[in-house]
Structure 1
């Protein structure tokens, strides 16, 4: 169902106008929380899809630490009806065309697994920037959806600003990776903290400056 927000709004303004979306009161970055973005049944099906095709997660720059990111990743099938519906729903919420989204992914964290502090943008001037941004540009917004709540641990911590978000089934986080001048915003530094008990599942959609692929 379409939301009653203007299609010509920038994502931050659109998200502030969207019913049910909460803006975290921060000066350093635009960060939004939307609870119950998906229901339990939809989240359970997405968890099953992740389990079917998961592989070790990769990273453009592990900063010399082989344990920097220890989760597993699933490249979800964009033609699957539920996956396609989630992509469309995220685009509708943010106002960002689905064509600007990278292929949507799921991640799985078993006990002890984590993703150490990082930003989602590529370092301008670095080799990874020229490799990954030549065609579609920098990553702009991130939408991250918790598909369950592990028994213990697995929070997302924005280290620079001291904000920690606890996983809840169906809770969506959306944030702007860039500063007002279009450069990567260091305040987006965040980490997937270690899961201590249970398993954590998330879904991640990254958006780019230009259409992808």
Structure 2
């Protein structure tokens, strides 16, 4: 019991991790990436070329300099442009529901879909998606839905050079391929945050990179 009290949302992370992991492992359309350091999956052709193109236009319409809690764009840590897509748009809703259904989770715990655009030289240095509960921002995030459990990220376009998603601890670089959905659990099987999920968006060398990301919390997202 003491362990659960010192790690917020540990039991919820353990339960949600198990539920989604078992569902994805049983789905023949889902590829499990070979690593013992994290629950990491991929789905090819999750989005059609037409859907990718439409989403890229939506990303352009909402993009603004990215930030990371107290870390601003000027720090150079995260130099992409990003913005939440309209959660009331019927097309965006349909994409979100497909991701919800794939994972088998209640849509209420899913955050709004965020679009991100990287131009040459832009990057997102190694980071984790889960929240550091010792930081001040956790007080707000705890009220907004608690800890992040699963991350889903879809690639929307071909990148001429660079822009891989690099899981630095696992030692895997994933090249962006349009329509591919990448999925990972930010927690260990026992519900503790998984340091092995640290990852980076490597600098785009040529061209541009478009992605969408949808994170899932342990409780209803507000």
Q: TM-score range by the shorter chain?
A: over 0.9
The reply to whether residue 143 of structure 1 matches residue 147 of structure 2 is no
The reply to whether residue 48 of structure 1 matches residue 57 of structure 2 is yes
Q: Which residue among 130, 133, 136 is the counterpart of 2:139?
A: 130
Aligned to 1:29: 38
C-alpha distance in 2 between matches for 1:126 and 1:205: 22
Q: How far 1:61 sits from its partner (Å)? A: 4.7
User: Which of the two has greater helix per residue?
Assistant: 2
1:10 counterpart SS class: helix
CA offsets per residue over residues 174-195 of structure 1, 9 Å max, x none?
Answer: 0000112222100000000000
Unpaired stretches in structure 2, ≥5 consecutive residues: 1-17
Aligned to 2:209: 200
Unpaired stretches in structure 1, ≥5 consecutive residues: 1-8
Instruction: Say what the alpha-carbon RMSD is for the aligned residues.
Output: 1.6
Q: How far 1:64 sits from its partner (Å)? A: 11
Q: Which residue among 104, 114, 118 is the counterpart of 2:113?
A: 104
Q: How far 1:171 sits from its partner (Å)? A: 0.6
CA offsets per residue over residues 21-45 of structure 1, 9 Å max, x none?
Answer: 1001211110001010001000000
CA contact (8 A) 2:65 2:73 kept: no
Aligned to 2:188: 179
Aligned to 1:118: 127
CA offsets per residue over residues 137-176 of structure 1, 9 Å max, x none?
Answer: 1000000000112111100000011011000000110000
Q: Which residue among 171, 184, 187 is the counterpart of 1:162?
A: 171
User: Which range moves more in the overlay, 106-115 or 78-87?
Assistant: 78-87
Q: How far 1:49 sits from its partner (Å)? A: 0.7
Aligned length: 205
Aligned to 2:219: 210
Q: How far 1:84 sits from its partner (Å)? A: 0.6
1:207 counterpart SS class: strand
C-alpha distance in 1 between matches for 2:109 and 2:196: 23
TM-score by length of 2: 0.89
Q: Which residue among 5, 24, 27 is the counterpart of 1:18?
A: 27
